Amino acid sequence: MVIEKYLIYFKKPIRCVYWGEKGIEIVGLPENKKTPPTSKIIENLSIPDVTSEEFRPIIAELRGVETGILLNSSQFIFNIFEFEKIPFQERLKKELVEWRLKKVFPENIDDYDHNFYQLGKKRILSVLYKKTFKDKIESLFAENDVPLIFLGNSTIEIMNCIKKWGRKSPDFLIEIDKGLSMLVFLSKGVPYYIRKFRNEKPTGIVAEIAKTINFIKNNYTNELRSFSLSADPSDIDYQFVKNELEKLNIQPISLASKEEILFSR
């Protein structure tokens, strides 16, 4: 299973923007394999609050250039549902997923853009984010003559990269963006449990990871022997996380670089 639906996708962009907790990073597609990608960081820009004035420093880098944007998971809501049987028809499948979603989600799902992905015979990943959030992003790019040809989510893109490894994939993924952490537990690259939490202290992050590992061990039969970490070194002490997880007999598996993930399509 590779998640093949996209929030917006037409073709590979020339520039890709990662928009996270600290601001944005603009990465340029390398001309060839021998040329490293270009990169520029603009700090302290938050998508939910950004104004057209604050967006101007980005315009010079992107105007007229086919651009993709990769958003961190702060504005996204993930649910994994299991069913005894999943209908083949998309309409019936959607009705079933929305029926289950309404049981656990207190807000009106009509206010959200809802994407769902079948993970296997009995499991579906549901992903929600506010329509107003998507509209704001599209308006910012359209008003400033920046062709937006891809809009995606970092967690989903990392999962897509990992799935290609098959049996060699890690047993869980740790994605850290400043104070935001995502834990994705995988079986042969396919997610079966996702948790999101906030904590900026390394000891606090490791404590939450350990708590979640105990939950998985008590509620699932999957073994946890390996992990991959996606994080900026300034956001987390990788060696500290590695050492703590090694105490639990869990070993690291290197993940693709941010540039490879950004341009993986």
Q: Structure pTM?
A: 0.87
Least confident of 158-167, 189-198, 236-245: 158-167
Selected residue with higher pLDDT from 219 and 169: 219
Q: What is the pLDDT of residue 1?
A: 32
Task: Give the CA angle between residues 119, 169, 231 to the nearest 5°.
Answer: 100
Summarize the confidence of residues 198-219 as an average pLDDT.
Answer: 94
Tens-place pLDDT, residues 87-121 = 888 899 999 999 999 999 999 999 999 999 998 88
Q: What is the largest CA-CA distance in the chain?
A: 52
Q: Dihedral angle at the C-alpha atoms of 146, 152, 153, 155, nearest 10 degrees?
A: -130
Q: What is the pLDDT of residue 209?
A: 96
Tell which residue, 55, 69, 48, has the closest CA to residue 144. 55
Strands 112-118 and 123-130: antiparallel
Q: What is the CA radius of gyration of the chain?
A: 19
Q: What is the pLDDT of residue 261?
A: 62
Length of the chain: 265
For 8-73+131-155, give the CATH class. Answer: alpha beta
**Domain ranges in the chain with CATH number 3.30.420.40:** 165-255
Name the band, by pLDDT with cuts 50, 70 and 90, for residue 167: low
Task: Give the rounded percent of residues in the chain with a pLDDT score beyond 70.
Answer: 87
Q: What is the pLDDT of residue 129?
A: 92
Tens-place pLDDT, residues 49-93 = 777 788 887 887 888 888 888 899 999 999 999 999 998 888 999
Q: Is the pLDDT of residue 8 over 50?
A: no
Selected residue with higher pLDDT from 41 and 259: 41
The CATH fold assigned to 165-255 is Nucleotidyltransferase; domain 5 (3.30.420)
Q: What is the pLDDT of residue 221?
A: 92
Summarize the confidence of residues 180-204 as an average pLDDT.
Answer: 93
Mean pLDDT score of the chain: 84
Q: What is the pLDDT of residue 78?
A: 96
Summarize the confidence of residues 38-44 as an average pLDDT.
Answer: 77
